[in-house]
Structure formats: structure tokens, C-alpha cells
Structure 1
Amino acid sequence: MATQRQRLGGWLPEKEEQVAQFRKQFAAQARERAATAMTSSVIDEFASFIREDPVIRMNFARAIDEALAEGFELGYANIDECLQMLDAILTYAPPFSESSLIHCPVNAILDWPMVMPSGYALFRDPAFNRHMKRVLNVWSGYLSGPYSRVHLNTDAPNGWFSPEADSKIGLSQFLCDPEKPYWGFSSWNHFFTREFRPGARPVAQPANDKIIVSACEASPYNIKHDVRLKDEFWIKSQPYSLKEIFTAKETALAERFVGGSIYQAFLSAFYYHRWHAPVSGTVVKAYLVDGTYYSDAESEGEDPGGLNDSQGYISAVAARAVIVIQCDDPAIGEVGCVFIGMAEVSSCMIEALPGQRVRKGDELGYFQYGGSSMCLIFRPGVIDSFVVQPPFSKDESPVKVNAHLATAR
């Protein structure tokens, strides 16, 4: 049995027993639902793909068997039972719970097969990930509709407006109206991407281009200097590899950041999930990168925290949005903003497109539901100092969005 690992951001409980209990209970609900409900077409097509590809079927079946042989309680014993649970997820709205925080239910279901020897290959396969993306997009569609508001109420223990939840979120900071149905939120995703009230997160020194601000409300994870164009991002130290982060098509862009600095931070389940400009300037690049959703780095071993210990690795392989801003201060030049979808986040929504003039603190886009991470990438010689300094712990307090993060030379 694997040793206990860190679970960052509150997306899954610290204790494996709680995650296993969720899987067991959810499997029972999925079996009951399957007795009367038709299977979603996206799951039917996923199942056909798996049946018709012998290598995919082999790796999926072996990953499940390997996890069961290790003694993990999955809630399912084969591919069909796993897909049955994924089908049930498509009409599932995550509840609040202080005792069992399962905010990434798909991650919880796949937690152990994805870190088995056969699972590493399976969850990197491009065709497999295309089907995972379709599944997650269908779920995102449900979470963007009115039927997903089942837990947007004040009822304890599951209500997101209950006193227990409010103590974690601080709802008074956000645009909402307790007098309206569902407090004015049209869907789960509308609640998840809730906006701060004006003035809740003031921009640090808006007229001073040397003051770089945090693009997200996120806890520091790592800072690296002298980053390389190509590096072995899959090894234990997970060095950053610029060519992979920006993609091979954007090699010329990546080359301009060689020798520079990267700041990476992770978002909690309870944090604000919109992105803001860390500098003032003009957007010169904005694009989405298809990638993996549940691929871990073998170098980290069995990681019950899902993707937590693989955040450097996923900057090179996961689905993500890349926005590059040409700063008004020519000494800073371009700043790369990489917003990384972890696990359930299949939707990185870009709002600021090339040619858009942005001021420091202006909104760039947002994550729809799920775990998430972000990197800010600076050209060589730009950063004089970061406000925060490693080593960082799993309980690191977030750097508030629009707060002073770094000072340029």
C-alpha cells in the first residue's frame, strides 16, 4: 500500500479511507441509476472505442487489476463498471462537505488505476484523452445548466451557502444576492466562477510597471530560474521544459524565455477561479493546448493526491491555455501566462485575445470546474525578486489575485 502523500488544494480528502468510501457509495448509486437510465451517448462511444482498440483495452483492464491487487477499494472491478460510474458523474453536482471533500469525483474514481504501471501509458494516449475530453465537456455542459444547482442552498451539510461552507469561501466578498433564488447563480459553473465584488482585490500599484501581480488567487508551489528550452520534465525534479509548455509549434516563442524564471501556483477548491493580467500591455498570443487530463509522472510514485505531486510535469502535458502579454515596460518584454487544467478542468476559457490591450489586473479568462494550476514565465534578467520564496508547504497561504507577486529590475 502506498504511503500517504500530500493532497493539495482541498480537492480530495487527506485520508484515503474517505476517498474509498466515496467510491464505494457512488458505485452503488451508479448501479441503481443504470437500472433505469439510458447510458449517455458519449459513454457509449467511449466504450466502443475501448472495445475496438486492443492496446487501450489491455492497459485499462490491467491498470484496474493492478490497483485491485495492491489492495485499493475502487468501487468497480472492471472497465464496464468504471464507465458506469463515469456515466453517473455526467449528472452529478458536487456537494459541500466538511467531513468528506470530494470536489474532483472523476479524479477520485480514477485515482489508483492512473498511477499503476499500465495506467501511465493509458492516461497519456492521445485518442484516450480525446474521449476523456468529450466526457468532461458533457459534464461541464450539465454543470453550466440550471439542473446543476441542487446544492446551491443554505442546507447543511451539503449546501454551498451553509454557514460551514461560508466559513471556507467568504461569500460576502463575491457578487451574489441571498434574496434571489440560488443567490442569483444560474448554474454550478456560474457559482464556481463567481466574481469578486468591486474593490475586494485591489491591484497593487497599478501605475508602476515594475510591480508584477498575481494572476490567480493561488498558493505558491514552485519557483525556478534559468529554465531550459528542452528538459526532462518527467524525472523526479520535474524541471520545466519551455518547448513542451508552449508547444513545438511555438518554439520561436519558447526560445525567447530560455534562461528566464517560472513561478507556479495551485488553486484550492474554495478559491476564486478567474485569471487576471499580471502586467499591463498587449496580448500577442492566446491559444488552447489539448493535452492529458489524468496523467501523472512515474517519478513521483503512487500519488493518491491525484496530480498534486506532478504539477511541474503537467505544465508540459496537460490541457492548458497560454496567453502571452507584451508588457508596456520594454525591460520586462513578454510575459507568458499558462493556465493549466488539472483533472476535471477540461474547459480553460480565454477572454482576452491577441491585439487586446489589458491593464494590470484586467480579467484574462477563467477555469470551469475542477482542479487547476498556473505558471507565470518571465524572460531572462527580468525578475529582481519574488515576494514569496521556496520551499513551499502544502498548507501555503494563497497569494491573492492582483497582489504584489514580484518586482522587475
Structure 2
Amino acid sequence: MADNRDSTTERRRLGDWLPSNEAHLAKYRTDLAEKARARAAHAPRTTAVEALAALVNGDPVLRMDMTRAIEQALNEGYVLGYSSIDELMVIVDYMMTYAPPFSESSLIHCPLNAVLDWPMCMPSGYALFRDPALNAQLKKVLNCWCAFLSGPHSREHLTTSAPNGWFSSEADEKINLSQFVCDPEKAHWGFASWNDFFTRRFREGARPVAEPHDSKIIVSACEAAPYNIQTDVKLCDTFWIKAQPYSLLDMFTEKERELAQRFVGGSVYQSFLSAFNYHRWHAPVSGVIRKAYALDGTYYSDADAQGRDAGGLNDSQGYITAVAARAVIVIESDDPAIGQVGCVFVGMADVSSCMIEALPGQRVKKGDEIGFFQYGGSTCCLVFEPGVIRGFVPRPPFDHAPPVKVNAHIATAA
């Protein structure tokens, strides 16, 4: 690999989903490729991955863009572990029965993101990973992987064995499992699968709801670090530029134009979840669910305005609120002065299944669980009507800001 010492080799990576050290990632990719080739020698290819390969190879534009994105990354000197579409598909297929191990020094929480990391932000990669047909097939591939991660065979590393075990003392320093519902006396501590562990629940009382009876106190919907606050948001905006302003119509979709119009001139609070965070969503206010819907979208699309210094999907978080796969839940607050609150839960990279639990017509109390992310990276936006918020508790700048606890006070209504 080229001995580049600039910001393209030591990229800023929010949330610990990937290590910041490119040398760790390069070694990971080459080791993964070697294991994938060994498996491919005796195992048939997964149907979903076979269909992905057929789509890319059968479409001249997709084949051109993917080939060029790989070549461009290699020509820049990055170590990928593959040099062709077929070699990439061998690795993707290997991922379908892969459960991430713990690592104290170079944790790879989003392994497929690590594999695609540089082709994603090459000139040919931007258009490639926005292609609707490619994303539709990627969804099937990721659903296949999600099925494995939701089954008992994914529990390989749910052990106390160092260095890979998620219940080892090294891992527990990061996670603090004592605050979660689990039983060390049971096999795999009572977790039925990797996804069951990933979506683990806090013990009763671990995250009390701030001022549960005060409707003016709005709480955090996720255990997440603040990323951005923007006021006077527009119905339509140029979300693809470097500043990445929020574009309400794109966040909620044209079909929900009337809903999006409600929030014009309002404010957006965005936060991102760490790899070690709790991944369930809670109601920021008490009220009635008015809308709850999932949206298909992209999985590995970067904002090209960020350039190769983008830090992968991390620095494209404003952009992905308009294009990535996501879930939208709208709560009409019991407090008429608050009106409706839009909760946008965005899946970014790898599986990122957005699972909605609270449905239209359901009444929720502030702090009630309303859904969760399955395996993968994630970010959350709370969208407020104009004039509703008197002030936010988190204040910029947000560099290195610690996660705000779920159900903690994040905003005060006027």
C-alpha cells in the first residue's frame, strides 16, 4: 500500500464502527480474502450473492462502474484484498456466515463496509452505490446475512474467551454487561443469536426517563452522541453538498409531502450511535403514533462532496438522512404546543435493519420502546415543528462528544 500519511489513510471514523488505522483495515481485508477463498473452494455460493454477481456482470454500466471503482482504489495504493468483481463476490459470500469477533485493538464492527470502504468513495463508486437496482439486490444480500445473525449459529464469539469473546473482561470494559439483561450462568449468557446480543436490553431502572410527567422535557430517543443541530430547515435543500443541510421532503419522501411541510422552518437534532451503544429506540415525547413506515434506500452511498477524506459513511451523516434505508415514526405529542415530532432512524452500512414496533394509533409514554436497529451502523434525527424548541441541552461543537443516554433530557419545549 502507498505510504500515504495524509487524512485519507487515517480517516476520522465516528462511533468505533471501523478502526481509524488504515493498516489494521488493510490487514483485515487481506486476511478475510484468504479465508473467503478457502471457503469458496468447497462451499456453494449463497443464492442472494449469486444474484448480486449476476446483476453486476449482466449490466454493462454496473460492471463498468464496479470494475473502475476497484481499479481506482487499487491505483491509489489501497489494499483491498481483491482486484476484480468475482474476487469481491467471493468475500461477500463469505460474509453471509460471518459473526464479528471482539477485538481490543482493531475492532471491525461493519466488516462489509470495511471491504467496500475505498471503492465507495472513488469517482466511479459514487454513482455505483446510488444505483436503485444494485441497492435492491444489496438489501437481499444483507437480509440473508441478517437471517444468519438472527440464528443460533451466529453465537460463535458470544463467549468469555479472549481475545475474540464478547463476554471477555476486555470486552466488558467497553460494554459493561452488568447493566444489560443477561445471565452468565446460561450458555451464551442467555442470548439466542448475535442480533439478540446486539439489540440487548437495559435492566429495569438503568436508563430512567427524565421528568416523565413534564411534557416540556424532551428526551433522547437513542443512546447516541450529538452530531448536529440545524434550525430553520427547508422543505427541499441541496443535501448532497459538503454542508449537507437537511432536506425535509427527501427525509420523509414526496409521498409524505404534507407531513414534511409541517416541519418547514423547524429544527433537527441528529445523533449517531456507537458500535458499543444500546440500539433500541424510545419515544422522545408522550403521545399517539400518527405515522410509522420504512423506506428502502442506499446502504453504502457516500456524499461525493466530502471527497476521499470523507471518513466513509461517518461524515456523510446529513446526506444519508435523505437517501439511506430508514424508518420514520411520527408522534403527535399530548402537549398541543409541541405538535408532531418526526423520528427518523437511519440504517447505515451492513445489515442495518430498521425494525418498527410502534404502529399508527398506538399511544406511547415518553421513554417507551418504539423500535430498534438490528446489526449495522446507525444515526437518528428528531425533527420538530417551528417555534417548538426553546433550547437544546447538547451544544456545539460536538467533536468527541460522549453519547447522550437514552431517555435523558435533550431539549426543552417552549
TM-score by length of 2: 0.98
Q: How far apart are the structure 1 equivalents of 2:48 and 2:346?
A: 24
Partner of 1:310: 316
Match of 1:402 among 399, 407, 411: 407
Tell me if structure 2 keeps the 8 A contact 1:321–1:338.
Answer: yes
Partner of 2:166: 160
Tell me if structure 1 keeps the 8 A contact 2:18–2:108.
Answer: yes
Match of 1:149 among 146, 155, 158: 155
Tell me if structure 2 keeps the 8 A contact 1:133–1:346.
Answer: no
Tell me if structure 2 keeps the 8 A contact 1:7–1:304.
Answer: no
Aligned to 2:51, the other structure's residue is in SS state: helix
Match of 2:231 among 215, 225, 246: 225
Q: Show CA shifts across 1:385-405 (max 9, x none).
A: 101111111x21010000001
Q: How far apart are the structure 1 equivalents of 2:179 and 2:281?
A: 17
Partner of 2:251: 245
Q: How far apart are the structure 2 equivalents of 1:32 and 1:87?
A: 12
Q: Which runs of 5+ in 2 are unaligned?
A: none
Q: How far apart are the structure 2 equivalents of 1:270 and 1:35?
A: 35
Partner of 2:140: 134
Match of 1:350 among 346, 353, 356: 356
Q: Show CA shifts across 1:62-84 (max 9, x none).
A: 00000000000000000000010
TM-fit CA distance, 1:86 = 0.3
Q: Which amino acid aligns with 1:398?
A: P
TM-fit CA distance, 1:345 = 3.4
Q: How far apart are the structure 2 equivalents of 1:252 and 1:337?
A: 16
Aligned to 2:406, the other structure's residue is in SS state: coil
TM-fit CA distance, 1:205 = 0.4
TM-score by length of 1: 0.99
Tell me if structure 1 keeps the 8 A contact 2:294–2:326.
Answer: yes
Partner of 1:299: 305
Q: Show CA shifts across 1:208-264 (max 9, x none).
A: 000000000000000000000000000010000000000110011000000000000
Partner of 1:330: 336
Percent identity over paired residues: 67
Q: How far apart are the structure 2 equivalents of 1:304 and 1:314?
A: 13
Q: Which amino acid aligns with 1:149?
A: R
Q: Show CA shifts across 1:326-355 (max 9, x none).
A: 000000000000000010133100000000
How many residue pairs get aligned? The number is 408
TM-fit CA distance, 1:5 = 2.5
- Aligned-residue Cα RMSD (Å) equals 0.8
TM-fit CA distance, 1:15 = 0.6
Is it true that 1:94 corresponds to 2:86 in the alignment?
Answer: no
Q: How far apart are the structure 2 equivalents of 1:375 and 1:163?
A: 34
Tell me if structure 1 keeps the 8 A contact 2:352–2:378.
Answer: no
Q: How far apart are the structure 1 equivalents of 2:283 and 2:289?
A: 10
Partner of 2:240: 234
Tell me if structure 1 keeps the 8 A contact 2:324–2:348.
Answer: yes
Q: How far apart are the structure 1 equivalents of 2:162 and 2:310?
A: 28
Q: How far apart are the structure 2 equivalents of 1:390 and 1:259?
A: 20
Q: How far apart are the structure 2 equivalents of 1:407 and 1:344?
A: 35
TM-fit CA distance, 1:100 = 1.2
TM-fit CA distance, 1:50 = 1.1
Q: Counterparts of 1:9-88 in structure 2 under 5 Å? A: 9-88=15-94
